Structure 1
Amino acid sequence: MTASIESPEPNTPEENPWRVPTESEHERPSPSVSPLNGQDIERIPDSHFKPSKRQLLDKYIKLGVIVLMLVWGSVILVKSLGHLKMHIPPGDDGNDNDNGRYDNSTYTLPDPFITEDGLLKISFNHTRNKTFIPEVHSLQWLNSDINGKDNGLYFTSINDTYLIKSVSDKYYSKILFKGKNITYEGHNLSVESIVASPDLSKLLIKTNSIQNWRHSSFATYFVFNEEDASIQHIGDSIALTEWSPNSIDIAYIQDNNIYLYSTLEKETINQITNDGNSQIFNGKPDWVYEEEVFEDDRTLWWSPDGKHLAYLKIDETNVEEYTIPYFVQEEHEQYPEMRSIKYPKSGTPNPKVELLVYDTEDCTVYQGHINKMHSYESILVTEVKWVGNDKLIAKMTDRSSDILDVIAVDVKKQKTDVVRSEPSNGSWWEITHNTMHIPRNEAKGRSNDGYVDLKPVDGYNHLVYFPTINSTDPIILTSGKWEVVLGPISFDEQLERIYFQATKKSSNERHIYYVNINRPRVIQDVTDTSKPGVYGVTFSSNSKFALLTYQGPKIPYQKIISLDPKDDRDSKKDIVGNKIGKTLYYLEENEALKEKLETYSVPKKTFKEMNLGKDSNGNDIIVNTIEILPDGFDKTLKDYYPVFFYPYGGPNSQQAIQTFSIGFNEVIASQLNAIVVVVDGRGTGYKGISFRSLVRGNLGEYEAVDQISAASIYSKKDFVDSEKIAIFGWSYGGYLTLKTLERDAGATFKYGLAVAPVIDWRFYDSVYTERYMYTPQENLEGYKKSRVENVTSIAQAKRFLLMHGTGDDNVHFQHSLVFLDHLNQAGVENYDVHVFPDSDHSIRYHNAGVIVWDKLLDWTRNAFTGRFATNLR
C-alpha cells in the first residue's frame, strides 16, 4: 500500500536492515545533523590534563594485567561452551521422546549462544544492539556551486559543527552553524533539523516537533541569518516549510492555510489561502494522500525561478470518518481518548482535489480547473512537476487507476489542456514521483523544455522522453525484458546522460546505468554488472560527482566517484563497484562490521529462482526466492528441519532482493534450527506487467497458490519435517498468511502467524485497494472472494497466532475484530491472540516493539518443539 500495507517501518533492529536515504531525504538535512547556537565554547588545552610519566606507567601495568585476565577467561569460557548443547525436548506432539535420549534424527533446539565451532549465534540481543547494522552516510548535495563550477558541495556535521564541504576540494569548508541548541527569548531549544537556503546564506531551523501521521508533524520554525547571526521566529504549530529558489521567501502552512514569509521583511508578507480548516487542506495532504499517494507531508511546489507556487487544495468534506479509541495515553483518565480521522474506505467518497498556482509578483491565483478535464466522478492527482519556469504537468487518474491523464498547465497563458490519456490495458497505473525536467538548450539542439517519464514498453517499465510539454509520442530511451526502477535519477546536461537504476541484469538486483538522450536504447553500465549487486546512487548538482552505495549482498560500502570524462578512469585492478568514472575515496568501508562478523556464525543466505510449476497457459511460474539455512545445516538428516516462510506479497512489492541484512530471518534460522524461505510470487514487482497484473481484481488467490506451491516443494525434501512448516506475515503479509492457510486447509502449512492483517478489502482505504480491486460496486464478487472468511478451513492448521495494535490508523483493528468474530461463530479455538494497546501499524507503543518480536520467536519455538496440542477444535 505504497508504504502502507507493506511491512511496517522497521521498529527494531531485527527488522531494520539498513537502507539508503532517498533523494528527497538528501534534499532536507536529517534530524541527526546537529547544528549550533552560534556560540563558540572555550576549549581548555589538552596539556592541562596531561598525567606524569610515572602515573602513565602504573596505569598501563594495571591495564595490561586486567586485559590478560579477561582474554584467558574468555578463552576458557568459549571452549567450555563449545562442548555444551542445549537440548529442549519436544512436547506432546505424538512422538516418543525415548525417555529424553536423542540422536541426530530428533529435532532439537540448538545452543542459543554459540555454535559447535565456538562462533557466536545470531540473537535478538545482538540485533537490538544494532551489531549488524552497517554504517551509512547521506550526503545532502547542494545545488550551489563554487565560482559556477560543480565542486560537489554537500552538508555535513562534524563535532556539532554544521558546515559545507566539497568532494573535489578537501580544503574547502564553510561553517554555517555550531552547537545543538538555539536560544530564543530566554528559552533554550533543541535543534531537530536544518535546511539551508539555496544560496546558503540562511538556515531554516525546526524545533519542538509533534508527530502527526506517518510522514507529517507540527513544529516551531526559525530562520538563522549567517551574516548577522540573527534569529527570526516564523511561527508555532507549522505543518511544513519550503524555501523559495530565490533564497528570500519561505512558504509555510499553518492551520491548513499557506503563508509567505519574507526573510528580508522578517515577517509574513502574505496569506495565500484563507479557506483552510479541518476539512480543507491547502499545500499539504490529508491522511490518504499522505499515506498512499505522495508518501510525504507536502503538496506544494515552487517554480524553478521562484515566481510561482503550485499547490493542491484537498477537500475531504464528504469523506467518512473513522474513530480510533486510545486507552492508555493518560494514566489517570477514566475514559478512552477518541480520535477521528477522515478515512475513505473502498467504494466510499474520496477527497476532492484541485490544482492551483500562485503568482508571487501580482499575488493572484490561477485555478487550473483540472477537474473539468475529465468525465470521471472522482480523480486522483498523483504527481506535479514544473517543466520550465511557467509550465507544469500534472498526472491524474480515475479512482481505480485505469486511465492516466497528463495535464499541461501554462501559467503565463493561464491555459490547461489534457495532452495525453492512456489506458492501463488490463493492469493499473502505479504511482511514481520521478518525472524529470529536461531543460531547453539550443546549443544541444533542444529548443523546448521537455521531460523524461516512466512508461510501459512491451510489457516492462522503461524511460521515455517527451521533447515538449505537449508531446504525445515519446522517444523510447530504454527497452527490453527488464525494468527501470521508479524513474530517472539524474541528468548530466553537458554530457546529455540520463542516469537510472534498473533490473537489466536480474530482477533481484539493482545496477546503475546511463543512456544518452540522443542515442536511445544504447545502455551503458555504470556499476560492475559482472558480480551480483544492489546499488543506490545520489548525484551532485550537475551530475559530475556521485555517492555510490553498494547495498549487498556482501557487506555494504560507500564511495565518492567522479564521472567527469577529464578524470582518468580507474585501472581495472582498482575497480570495485563502479565500471566507469574515477574513485576519489571511500566514504565508508564498514571495516568494523567485517571484523565483528568474524566472531559470529551467520546462517547462509542464498538468492535464487524457483520453478513453481505450470500456470493455466502451460508456462513455467518462475519466482525469486531467498533461502536461509541454519548453522551446521546437514542435508543428510531425514525429516528434521522445520521451515519458516516469511512472505509480504503485495502488488508490485519485492522482498527477494540481494541486499545485505542480518535480522529477524537470521534469528529464526539461528535460534530455532529452521530453514527460512522468502518467496516473491505472482503479483510482486520488477518481473514485468503480466507477472504482477495477474492479481488484479482477485487479490489473495495467486499469491496464496504460489506460497503453497513453494511449501509443497520444500515439504518433499528429505531433510524437511513436513509437519513443521509455518508461514508469517505483517500487514499485506498477514493477509497473505491467512489467505494461504484458508486455501491450504492444513495440507502443507501447519502453523501461521499474522500481524496487523487485512481481513476484508472493503475496510481498507480506497486509494490503495481500488488500484488493484476496482470499487466494490464494480467488483462485488472479487471482494467477496478476496476476504478472509473460511475460518474452518484455516482451523485445519495445527495452530495460528493473531496480533494487532488497537491504534492502527492504517489497517484498522476492525479487521482483526471481524476475523475473531468469524472464529467465534465457527467455534474455532486453536489460535492465540495478542493485542497491543494504542500501538499503530508499526506496533511500537509502550515497549510493544520488543514484545511483538519476542512473541513471534517464542510462539514459533513452541510450534516447532511440539508444545501445542495437535488440534484444539
Structure 2
Amino acid sequence: MSDFARDEETDAAEFRLQLSKPHEHRRRSFLVTACLSLSTVLFSAYLFISIISSLKGSGTLNNGSGPRLPNKQIDYTKDGLLKVSFANVRNRTFQPEVKPLQWISTPDSHKNDKGLYVTFENDTYSVRSVLDESYSKTLFEGTSFTYDSKNYTVDAVVASPELSKVLIRSETEKGWRHSTFGTYFVYENDSFHKIDSEISIAKWSPNSRDIVYVKGNDIYLYSSDSHETSKRITNDGSELVFNGKPDWVYEEEVLEGDTALWWSPTGDYLAFFKINETSVEEFPIPYFVQENQTNSAYPELRKIKYPKSGSSNPINKLNIYDLSADKVSQIDSTSDDSLITEVTWVGNHEIIAKVSDRSSDILTVIMVDAADGSRSEVSRIEESDGGWWEITHKTTFVPKDKSRSRSYNGYIDLVPVDGYNHLVYFTTNVTTEIPSVVLTSGEWEVVDGPAAFDEEFNNVYFIATKKSSTERHLYYVNLERPQKVYAVTDERLNGYYSASFSAGARFLLLNYLGPDVPYQKIIDLKSDTKDKNIRGNIIGKTLYYLEKNEKLHNSLKRYAIPARIFRELTLGKDQNGSDIIVNSYEILPNDFDPSLKNHYPVFFFAYGGPNSQQVAQTFGIGFNQVIASQLDAIVVVVDGRGTGFKGKEFRSIVRGNLGDVESTDQILAAKLYGQNSYVNKEKISLFGWSYGGYLTLKTLEKDAGKHFKYGVSVAPVTDWLLYDSVYTERYMHTPQKNPEGYDKCKVHNATAFATVPRFLLMHGTADDNVHFQNSLKYLDLLNLNNIENYDVHVFPDSDHSIQYHNANVIVFNKILNWIRHAYNGDFLL
C-alpha cells in the first residue's frame, strides 16, 4: 500500500539521501527482470537509511534562555571521535553497500531449481547460477547500441523466460511515481528489432514468443518470431480510458506500480484492467520554472484526473483476452463504484480478483474461469468488522499435486485471524469439505503475505513480527502442519530481515537490515549440511556472502554514532481505562549527561499514518542522528495508536476520526519527556512530512503550545476533503457518510496556533499527491484569524518529494537551521 505518500522512495520517513531524482528524464536502470515470477531485491528497506543535504552553521542571537547552541558545527566529541554531520551523511560515509541479485524463473525452474539470477558486471548482462559457479549465459553486452544510425542508451533489460531473447528499454521518460514511457527493442542473435516508441508497459509472455505492450492506453501483441505487431487487443484507449495501465489513483493507491495486466501461467490468456475516468474531476497543476518551457512568461498548466474524497472514482472492469479465440471478455460482477485491488492467476485458466467497496469495508473475492468467457462466481465475502481492508499484492498460487496432498489448486492469502494478520490457505474448489486452513495465528502479524512457496515440501515462507513488532524475522509453516511455525532466522538476537527466494524456493537471499551493520548472504535451504557458525540463519547452509560491508564497519570506528534506544512507552490510560502502550525509540546526543538540569531540547519526528511504522530496528544514520549530534538534542520517534503491526484493535481505533488519538499520543509522549529533569520543556519540537506534516499541525492545534513549543510541517494534508478518495475513504469513509468526522479531522482551530511560539510550513507547488491547495487553504485560515507566528517556504515545481532544482538540499538545510534558531530562543525575541 502507498499509505498516502508513504512510498519509501520519495517521502521523508527517515530522511534519506535521494539517490534517484523523479525529474530526471533519463534514468539508468540496471534492473534486469525475466518472467512474471521474477523476484527483484534491491534491499528496499535501505530507503529508510540515508538522506539529504549539506549544512553550514548559522549565527543566531541569544535571548539568555538556557544553553546556547554553537554558531558553527562541532566536529568532535569529548573522546575525540567524529560527530555525525550533514557532510558525511551526504557523501555516503554511512551508506551500506547493496548488491542487487535478481532471481529469474525459467519453464523448469520450479522442479529443477539451479538458483539462476541475472547480474550486470563489466557492462555485461548475464545469467549466473548460485548452485553452479561455472554456469554463465550472456544476455547483452554494452550500455548502448545503434539502430538505424541512431545511438540508444540501455535503460532496462528484460530476458525472455527461456533466456534466448532480450527486451530492451531506451529513451525512458518518467511518468508519475511508478510509471515510465520508453522505446522498446527485441535483441536476438546480435540483431535489434524495434517494437515502438512511447510505450508505457512491455511484458514477455510465458511462451517467450509474444510480448504484450501498451501504447496510447491501448494494448497490442508483438510477435518476436515475425518481429511485428500481430494483434491490437483494444481500440478505445484514450486520455480517459486506460487499458492495461493504471490511471493516477490506481497507480498511486491501489496497484502501487505501473502495470494493470497479467499473463496466465502458460500465456494462453491475458487479464487486464479497463479503467474509465471520464467522470473523474480534473485537478490543474501549474509549473512555473520548467527548463523546457516554450514560453517562460506564462506557467505551463498540466491537468490530472484526481478523485477527491466523496467525488466520482474511475470505473474499473476486469477483462480477459483469449489469444486462441482472439476474443476479449469483460467480467461484469463488479459495480462501477468498487475497487479491484488485486489479481492473481490460480491455474492455467483460473483467476481470482479481490474487490472492495470504495470505503474498504467489505472484501469480495471473485473466481473467474477464463476458458468459459466471462463466467465468474463469488468465492468469499468478508467484512472488516470495524477496521478496513488493506490492499495486498502477495496472494500466492498453490498448484494442485495429489502426490503432495494438494488435491485442488489453491492460494495463500493474508487474512485477519483473531485481530492479527495471518496466512490462510484456500482451495479454489469451494465445495470441498475444508475449503480453507488457517496456517498461522497468534498475537503477532505476518508482514505483507507469503514470501515464497516450496512446491516440493509444502513449505510456506514468510516474514513476521513473531518476536517483536519492531523486528522482522523469517519463518516457515507447512501446509500439512498448520500452526506449527519454524524460525529460519536466529531469534536470539534482535534482527530486521528481508528475504528473496529463487524460483523453486531452494535458495534464499537473506538481507540483514539491522539494527547493526547490514549484510547479505546466499543460503541453500535444502543442503544436507548446516552452518558451523550461526549468523542470521539457523536453517540451511550459507553458500557465500553477497556483501559484508566491512568497509562500513571500519569507517564507523572513527565516529561517535548516537545510538537508537528502542523501548515501549506507557503513555497513560485510554477512555476504557487500559494502558496506552506504544513503540518508540530515542537518540541521545553525544556526551549525554543526565545530571544536567533543564538542558536538552527534544526533537520529535512523527509520521503516524494508519498502518505505518517508523519504529523499526533497521540500520540507518541520517537526519535524526545529525539533529542529535549537531543540535545536542534528544530525538524521539513514537508510533502511536493507529500505526501498524500491533494488531487490528491498535490500528483501527483511528477509523473515521484521523488525527485525534495520533495527536493525543504525541502530546502524552512530550509530556512524559518533559518530566525528565535534564529536558528543557521550552524546547520541545515536532517535525513531520506528508501524513507526518498533517499530524504535526493537528498536534500543535490540540496542544496549543502547552508541550510542543515548535513545529515543522512539510507537504501536509490539512483537509481530508482535498485528498484522494481511495486512501482517505479507506480510513474515513465518504464525507457523505461521515461529515462530522471530516469536519473534525481537518486542521481548523486557527486560534490554537496563536499560542504556539513558532511553526514552519513548507510545500512544493507541483505536488501531484498532496496538493499545494492544502497549504494554501491553511494559510488562508491563518490570515482570516490574524495568526502571524509562523514561517513559510515554497518550492517551485517540486512534487511531493521536494527535489526539483536543488530543493531537497534546501528543505533539510532549512529545517535544521530553523530548529537551531528555535532552540536558541530567537523566535521569542
- 2:313 is equivalent to residue 350 of structure 1: yes
Matching residue's letter, 1:9: E
Q: Could you say which residue in structure 1 is the equivalent of 2:88?
A: 126
- 2:131 is equivalent to residue 168 of structure 1: yes
| C-alpha contact (below 8 Å) 1:206/1:221 kept by paired residues | yes
Over the matched positions of the two proteins, sequence identity in percent amounts to 56
Return the match for 1:465 from 411, 421, 425: 425
1:3 CA displacement: 4.6
Q: Could you say which residue in structure 1 is the equivalent of 2:41?
A: none
Q: Could you say which residue in structure 2 is the equivalent of 1:424?
A: 384
Alpha carbons of 1:252 and 1:628: their partners in 2 closer, same or farther (altered >3 Å)?
A: same
Q: Could you say which residue in structure 2 is the equivalent of 1:81?
A: none
| C-alpha contact (below 8 Å) 1:34/1:161 kept by paired residues | no
Which deviates further from its counterpart, 200-209 or 170-179? 170-179
1:821 CA displacement: 0.3
Secondary structure at 1:648's aligned position in 2? coil
Following the alignment from structure 2 to structure 1, what is the Cα–Cα distance between the partners of residues 530 and 14?
40
Q: Could you say which residue in structure 2 is the equivalent of 1:206?
A: 169
Return the match for 1:155 from 91, 97, 118: 118
Q: Could you say which residue in structure 1 is the equivalent of 2:39?
A: none
Following the alignment from structure 1 to structure 2, what is the Cα–Cα distance between the partners of residues 430 and 578?
30
Following the alignment from structure 2 to structure 1, what is the Cα–Cα distance between the partners of residues 812 and 640?
25
- 2:304 is equivalent to residue 341 of structure 1: yes
Matching residue's letter, 1:831: Y
| C-alpha contact (below 8 Å) 2:17/2:90 kept by paired residues | no
More helix per residue? 1
- 2:419 is equivalent to residue 449 of structure 1: no
Following the alignment from structure 2 to structure 1, what is the Cα–Cα distance between the partners of residues 57 and 325?
79
- 2:250 is equivalent to residue 289 of structure 1: yes
Q: Deviations over 1:71-111 (max 9, x none)?
A: xxxxxxxxxxxxxxx9999735464x8xxxxxxx7665785
Q: Could you say which residue in structure 2 is the equivalent of 1:4?
A: 4
Q: Could you say which residue in structure 2 is the equivalent of 1:60?
A: none
Alpha carbons of 1:141 and 1:693: their partners in 2 closer, same or farther (altered >3 Å)?
A: same
| C-alpha contact (below 8 Å) 1:440/1:450 kept by paired residues | yes
1:33 CA displacement: 5.5
Q: Could you say which residue in structure 2 is the equivalent of 1:298?
A: 259
Matching residue's letter, 1:429: W
Alpha carbons of 1:147 and 1:300: their partners in 2 closer, same or farther (altered >3 Å)?
A: closer
Alpha carbons of 1:147 and 1:510: their partners in 2 closer, same or farther (altered >3 Å)?
A: closer
1:368 CA displacement: 1.3
Following the alignment from structure 1 to structure 2, what is the Cα–Cα distance between the partners of residues 594 and 440?
48
Secondary structure at 1:135's aligned position in 2? coil
Secondary structure at 1:521's aligned position in 2? strand
Secondary structure at 1:733's aligned position in 2? helix
Q: Could you say which residue in structure 1 is the equivalent of 2:22?
A: none
Q: Could you say which residue in structure 1 is the equivalent of 2:192?
A: 231
Secondary structure at 2:630's aligned position in 1? helix
Q: Could you say which residue in structure 1 is the equivalent of 2:157?
A: 194
| C-alpha contact (below 8 Å) 1:724/1:863 kept by paired residues | yes
Q: Could you say which residue in structure 1 is the equivalent of 2:804?
A: 845
Following the alignment from structure 1 to structure 2, what is the Cα–Cα distance between the partners of residues 704 and 93?
30
Secondary structure at 1:552's aligned position in 2? coil
Secondary structure at 1:713's aligned position in 2? helix
- 2:506 is equivalent to residue 544 of structure 1: yes
Following the alignment from structure 1 to structure 2, what is the Cα–Cα distance between the partners of residues 557 and 691?
33
Alpha carbons of 1:368 and 1:10: their partners in 2 closer, same or farther (altered >3 Å)?
A: closer
Q: Could you say which residue in structure 2 is the equivalent of 1:15?
A: 15
Alpha carbons of 1:313 and 1:460: their partners in 2 closer, same or farther (altered >3 Å)?
A: same
- 2:397 is equivalent to residue 397 of structure 1: no
| C-alpha contact (below 8 Å) 2:125/2:138 kept by paired residues | yes
| C-alpha contact (below 8 Å) 2:217/2:245 kept by paired residues | yes
- 2:554 is equivalent to residue 554 of structure 1: no
Following the alignment from structure 1 to structure 2, what is the Cα–Cα distance between the partners of residues 88 and 855?
11
Q: Could you say which residue in structure 2 is the equivalent of 1:435?
A: 395
Secondary structure at 1:777's aligned position in 2? coil
Alpha carbons of 1:459 and 1:776: their partners in 2 closer, same or farther (altered >3 Å)?
A: same
Q: Could you say which residue in structure 2 is the equivalent of 1:321?
A: 282
**Length-normalised TM-score, structure 1:** 0.89
- Number of positions where the alignment pairs a residue of Structure 1 with one of Structure 2: 794
Matching residue's letter, 1:857: L
Q: Could you say which residue in structure 2 is the equivalent of 1:360?
A: 323
Following the alignment from structure 1 to structure 2, what is the Cα–Cα distance between the partners of residues 142 and 784?
50
- 2:778 is equivalent to residue 819 of structure 1: yes
Return the match for 2:61 from 91, 97, 104: 91
Q: Deviations over 1:509-550 (max 9, x none)?
A: 000000001100000000001111000000011011010000
Q: How does 1:63-142 map to 2 (within 5 A)?
A: 91-93=61-63, 95=65, 111-142=73-104
Which deviates further from its counterpart, 358-367 or 674-683? 358-367
Secondary structure at 1:709's aligned position in 2? helix
Q: Deviations over 1:222-278 (max 9, x none)?
A: 0101xx211110000001101100000000000000000000010000000000000
Following the alignment from structure 1 to structure 2, what is the Cα–Cα distance between the partners of residues 182 and 88?
50
Alpha carbons of 1:166 and 1:149: their partners in 2 closer, same or farther (altered >3 Å)?
A: same
Q: Could you say which residue in structure 2 is the equivalent of 1:642?
A: 601
Q: Deviations over 1:169-214 (max 9, x none)?
A: 1111111211110110011111011010000001110100111100
Matching residue's letter, 1:724: K
Following the alignment from structure 2 to structure 1, what is the Cα–Cα distance between the partners of residues 123 and 495?
35
Q: How does 1:659-678 map to 2 (within 5 A)?
A: 659-678=618-637
Unaligned stretches of 5+ residues in structure 2? 20-26, 34-55
Q: Deviations over 1:266-308 (max 9, x none)?
A: 0000000000000000001000000000000011000000000
Following the alignment from structure 1 to structure 2, what is the Cα–Cα distance between the partners of residues 397 and 269?
36
Following the alignment from structure 1 to structure 2, what is the Cα–Cα distance between the partners of residues 204 and 10?
28
Following the alignment from structure 1 to structure 2, what is the Cα–Cα distance between the partners of residues 192 and 479?
44
1:469 CA displacement: 4.8
Alpha carbons of 1:387 and 1:109: their partners in 2 closer, same or farther (altered >3 Å)?
A: same
Matching residue's letter, 2:690: S
Q: How does 1:723-738 map to 2 (within 5 A)?
A: 723-738=682-697
Following the alignment from structure 2 to structure 1, what is the Cα–Cα distance between the partners of residues 698 and 193?
56
Return the match for 2:272 from 294, 302, 311: 311
Return the match for 1:722 from 681, 697, 705: 681
Alpha carbons of 1:88 and 1:517: their partners in 2 closer, same or farther (altered >3 Å)?
A: same
Higher Rg? 1
Q: Could you say which residue in structure 2 is the equivalent of 1:31?
A: 29
Alpha carbons of 1:417 and 1:8: their partners in 2 closer, same or farther (altered >3 Å)?
A: same
Matching residue's letter, 1:455: V
Q: Deviations over 1:815-865 (max 9, x none)?
A: 000000011011011100000000000000000011001001010011011
Runs of 4+ in 1 over 6 A off after TM superposition: 11-14, 86-90
| C-alpha contact (below 8 Å) 2:288/2:298 kept by paired residues | yes
Matching residue's letter, 2:301: M
| C-alpha contact (below 8 Å) 1:387/1:469 kept by paired residues | no
Q: Cα RMSD (Å) of the superposition?
A: 2.0
Return the match for 2:230 from 269, 272, 275: 269
Which deviates further from its counterpart, 784-793 or 324-333? 324-333
Return the match for 1:739 from 692, 698, 711: 698
- 2:581 is equivalent to residue 633 of structure 1: no
Return the match for 1:865 from 802, 824, 827: 824
| C-alpha contact (below 8 Å) 2:359/2:730 kept by paired residues | yes
Secondary structure at 2:671's aligned position in 1? helix
| C-alpha contact (below 8 Å) 1:319/1:343 kept by paired residues | yes
